[in-house]
Amino acid sequence: MDNSNFVTINEEGPREGFQIESASIPTSDKIALIDALSLTGLREIQTVSFVSPKRVPSMADAEDVVAGLTPREGVAFTGLYLNEQGLRRAIATGRLHIEGGISLCASPAFLQRNQNATPEQQRSSRRQMISAFQEAGIDITYGSVSAAFGCNFQGDIPLDHLLSTVADIFAIAEEFGLHLKSLGFSDTMAWATPLQIKRTIGAVRECYPDIEISLHLHDTRGMAIANAYAGLEMGVRTFDASVGGLGGCPFAAHKGAAGNLCTEDFVLLCEEMGFETGIDLERLIETARMAERIVGHPLPGAVMRGGSLASLRKAKLAA
């Protein structure tokens, strides 16, 4: 358990957001947003996903986006890939920070629907990915579980099933003599509630007391910020988030607005509660407004409209 005062936020807005937005957003706008994000104090930014341009036309310019980014000291640009082909594309850019992981889906029904695979087939493809990472000299550092808290197609994911999925990850790691540093849980279809977050993290810590835990939270049912708070209370110090609340999973049968945990709302929560994030909230709010201009429709973030408390305190002092 990490009781430190520092909360690490992995910005996923560009990847999460542009993935489900119109394919007509200019590459230069994507680059401008990522460059602006890299000046806010964020240390890790997921920029693109290397998926089939046929399936996700809005990511067809992934290589061009990465090629156009301005490198920034202390900022790691990453990319998402779901298979060896995507991994090879990410490596080929020569500009991305790449860590390997072992990712399993906790929902057999979603796995079937989304990747046309059984859990056994997924485990087998993960073993192939590990070989691909090792051939490329990439460290394999993390495990992650998608649909960890429930699934629109499977229903609830019982805790013992989730724990067995986690056990599968560690079993695969052991086959290859790997030591995983962190374990991520993704609420892919927004089934989590704060109580479930607490129960799940409590149970995982009971089994794996030394692993660092991270959370990836969607806001489809308005619970993301409460779930993040529950995670903080349980000692989680690493979170994915999206500027402006950009995003959603295009394959998860979300009805209507989905969106992720909103980065600037979460930064306000953290900073007001005494955690450090290293992020300049005012600058991040400006960047959220820029994201809104780029996508051309309102984003769900609240603080970008309501303003930070720090700015109100400062205005009061100046008055």
Catalytic residues: 249
Nearest residue (CB) to a copy of itself, 39 versus 302: 302
Q: Binding residue for a copy of itself (CB under 8 A) from 77, 133, 191, 239? A: 191
Quote the tokens at residue 224: 């993301």
Q: Binding residue for a copy of itself (CB under 8 A) from 96, 106, 129, 190? A: 190
| Burial class (CB within 10 angstroms; exposed 0-12, middle 13-18, buried 19+) of 55 | exposed
| 229 counts as binding a copy of itself under rule CB under 8 A | yes
Contacts with 135 (C-beta within 8 Å, 6 or more apart), sequence order: none
| 258 counts as binding a copy of itself under rule CB under 8 A | yes
Q: Binding residue for a copy of itself (CB under 8 A) from 194, 235, 250, 278? A: 194
- Amino acid 15 reads R
| 257 counts as binding a copy of itself under rule CB under 8 A | yes
What distances in angstroms separate CA 259 from CA 33, 66, 147, 170, 180, one per listed residue?
17, 23, 15, 30, 29
Nearest residue (CB) to a copy of itself, 199 versus 283: 199
| 23 counts as binding a copy of itself under rule CB under 8 A | no
Question: Which one-letter DSSP state was computed for residue 70?
Answer: P
What distances in angstroms separate CA 247 from CA 20, 102, 278, one per listed residue?
7, 23, 23
> Pairing state of beta strands 238-241 and 8-11?
parallel
Nearest residue (CB) to a copy of itself, 97 versus 305: 305
The contact pattern for a copy of itself, residues 138-167, with x = CB under 8 A and - = no contact, is ------------x-xxxxx-----------
Residue 20 beta carbon to a copy of itself: minimum distance, rounded to whole angstroms: 14
Q: Binding residue for a copy of itself (CB under 8 A) from 61, 219, 240, 292? A: 219
In angstroms, the CA 193 to CA 191 distance is 7
What are the start-end ranges of the E strands in 119-197? 140-146, 182-187
Stretch that binds a copy of itself, among 12-20, 96-104, 159-167, 304-312 (CB under 8 A): 304-312
Query: b/e for 199-233, b at 16 or more Cβ within 10 A?
Result: ebbeebbeebeebbbbbbbbbbeebbbbbbbbbbe
Which residue from 312, 241, 300 is spatially nearest to 270, judged by alpha carbons?
241
Residue 35 beta carbon to a copy of itself: minimum distance, rounded to whole angstroms: 26
Nearest residue (CB) to a copy of itself, 230 versus 295: 230
What are the residues binding a copy of itself (CB under 8 A)? 150, 152-156, 190-191, 193-196, 219-223, 225-226, 228-230, 254-258, 262, 265, 268-269, 272-274, 300-303, 305-309, 312-313, 316
